[in-house]
């Protein structure tokens, strides 16, 4: 059986069109954007053209709002720590949803060492932020609130515009991690009322090694990585021109194809969900309808997610069992615990994220492999034997 890759939330292949576009910046157009000679000017031009493409992709006010970083994790750190520390005289409170990526939660926890107060907003059983609790938590000393556009583990899409309205009325700045959502659903930072927004190159089918942070005009931010003063002094370090040029071209392509690709993936996603839920004691995680078009996530009673992943890989089908950034800890997902699952329930998760290579022909072999995997693992599980008594 041919390989079926369903872990696009962890890593995507670089689109061949993107690679061909950016390849010269690995070879002939290899200049440093800070150099004043012609080769450096060419590299600088590539960075600025990419900045324009990213700004257009998210409907930003202008290209100067885009700050390039080395990754989405770095962009999240810059957003959280840079905003909180720059606005420390206005307040020392930061807030995030309970299901944020660890590159948001851990920087906020670190801010507590500097005297900040950090609280998390609860979510319901589908992962939707509790808007009433959010409103109660915020005060004028809340310098930053961070809520992701959509969750990478359960696929739930948050009501960002409603959240923005609350933050504007009760707090200061809203940061949105859009890594999982960008390229899957349209994003308009101005209409959505977003102050800071994080993007990842590879999650747009661009090269790894580049991320971006949108910073709304007027938002006060300070650098957390000091050096030569690149990127308006907010992110020092020589720019990765190949990755940045590729990110911009990837965003341009995604913007042209997003409607068609999402419409293609939704029926595949829904068919996969319907087939896999026929398995006894299987459950969908995340919101049943308010979810990303390429995302299907499940939990199965009495078995471990790591075992599911390894067994599915024996069929040459690659899946995930939570966030790729934290899956090696063998700890239950904080996202699944936040939506109310018990520890033993949170361990039995499987996440399928579809991509451009996914077709309806993949549904039958994936569903069959999942059924056989679950049955095999349950026969070995003392928990399953206990449940059947």
Active site residues: 325
What SS3 state is found at 6?
coil
Residues in the chain: 389
Rounded Cα distance, 82 and 108, in Å? 11
* Site of tokens 């939990």: 299
Give buried/exposed letters for 150-170 (b at 16+ CB in 10 A, else e): bbbbbbbbbebeebbebbeeb
CA–CA gap between residue 107 and residue 84 (Å, rounded) = 10
The span from the CA of 98 to the CA of 130, in Å, is 10
**Phi then psi dihedrals of residue 67, to 5 deg:** -115, 120
Q: 3-class DSSP state for residue 149?
A: coil
Between CA 339 and CA 356, with CA 180 as vertex, the angle to 5 degrees is: 125
Q: Are 243 and 68 in contact (CB under 8 A)?
A: no
Longest dimension (CA), the chain: 77
Among 95, 304, 75, 278, which Cα is nearest to 312's? 304
Contacts of residue 293, defined as CB under 8 A and 6 or more positions apart, other chains included, come to 184, 185, 262, 263, 265, 266, 269
CB of 93 closer than 8 Å to CB of 142: yes
């Amino acid at each position: 059986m041919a390989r079926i890759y369903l872990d696009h939330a962890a890593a995507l292949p670089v689109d061949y069109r993107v690679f061909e576009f950016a390849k010269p910046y690995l070879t002939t157009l290899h200049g440093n954007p800070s150099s004043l000679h012609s080769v450096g000017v060419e590299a600088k031009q590539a960075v600025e053209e990419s900045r324009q493409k990213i700004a257009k992709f998210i409907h930003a006010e202008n290209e100067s709002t885009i700050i390039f970083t080395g990754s989405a994790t770095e962009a999240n750190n810059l957003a959280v720590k840079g905003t909180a520390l720059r606005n420390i005289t206005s307040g020392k409170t930061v807030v995030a949803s309970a299901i944020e990526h660890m590159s948001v939660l851990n920087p906020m926890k670190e801010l507590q060492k500097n005297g900040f107060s950090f609280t998390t907003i609860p979510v319901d059983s589908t992962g939707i932020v509790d808007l009433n609790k959010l409103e109660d938590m915020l005060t004028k000393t809340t310098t930053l609130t961070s809520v992701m556009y959509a969750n990478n583990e359960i696929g739930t899409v948050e009501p960002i515009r409603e959240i923005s309205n609350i933050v504007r009325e009760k707090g200061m700045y809203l940061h949105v991690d859009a890594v999982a959502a960008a390229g899957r659903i349209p994003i308009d930072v101005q209409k959505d009322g977003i102050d800071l927004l994080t993007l990842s190159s590879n999650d747009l089918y661009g090269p790894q090694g580049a991320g971006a942070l949108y910073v709304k005009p007027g938002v006060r931010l300070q650098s957390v990585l000091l050096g030569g003063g690149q990127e308006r002094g907010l992110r020092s370090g020589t720019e990765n021109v190949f990755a940045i040029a590729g990110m911009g071209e990837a965003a341009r392509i995604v913007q042209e194809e997003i409607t068609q690709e999402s419409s293609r993936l939704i029926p595949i996603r829904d068919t996969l969900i319907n087939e896999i839920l026929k398995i006894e004691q299987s459950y969908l995680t995340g919101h049943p309808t308010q979810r990303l078009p390429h995302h299907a996530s499940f939990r199965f009673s009495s078995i471990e997610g790591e075992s599911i992943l390894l067994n599915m890989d024996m069929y040459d089908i690659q899946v995930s069992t939570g966030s790729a950034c934290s899956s090696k800890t063998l700890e239950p997902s904080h996202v699944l615990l936040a939506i109310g699952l018990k520890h033993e329930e949170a361990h039995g998760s499987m996440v399928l994220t579809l991509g451009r290579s996914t077709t309806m022909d993949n549904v039958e072999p994936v569903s069959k492999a999942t059924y056989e995997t679950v049955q095999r693992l349950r026969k070995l599980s003392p928990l399953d034997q206990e449940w059947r008594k």
